[in-house]
Amino acid sequence: MYRAAQLVILDRDGVINRDSDAFIRTASDWRAIDGSLEALALFAENGFNVAVATNQSGLARGHFDLAALSDIHRTMVDAVAAAGGRIDRIVFCPHGPESGCDCRKPAPGMLLQLAQLFGVDLRDVPFIGDSLSDLQAAQAVGARGILVRSGKGGATEKAFGADMGDVEVFDDLLQAARFLVAEIQH
């Protein structure tokens, strides 16, 4: 059984790796954001279990297939492992924005799936993302929404500013990881 305080959930594009309006279509398109691999190593060194929840509408749009997505994720997991970190679980939504599914963020389906897989209540589990849909998914399950300014996060912060409520904001995943690790050490 995993302890909720040890689980952290991350969005992928714009949080761990550079985002692209043209989609991350191949493993060679995947590029870590500066400091993100160090952040994942920091989580591992401090007993966190790391899960990734990512919308991947490029599948529904025909920009890439499941084999390409698997290669992208293998590249990411290998880069994280080489830096001393790990990703314990990756879940993704393969649907487009108009599908009406319950897994595409801001719907909470992927987070609920992770709660079941890890056997935890998501209340106050950190969910780190760079978009409003990430924050809305976190709010829907009572998770702790954290916004990073990397990816689309700076634009999200500008657009919603004071309307984001009690969302914590950090420059990037490394800054957020350092904060969360310091928090459990006290």
Instruction: Count Cβ neighbours within 10 Å for each residue of 57-69 and write b for 16 or more, e otherwise.
Output: bbbbeeebeeebb
> Could you say which of 13, 130, 134, 172 is catalytic?
13
Contact 120, 95 (CB under 8 A): no
Contact 122, 133 (CB under 8 A): no
DSSP 150: T
Class of residue 77 by CB neighbours under 10 A (exposed 0-12, middle 13-18, buried 19+): middle
Active site residue 11: yes
> Could you say which of 11, 130, 134, 172 is catalytic?
11
**Catalytic sites, residue numbers:** 11, 13
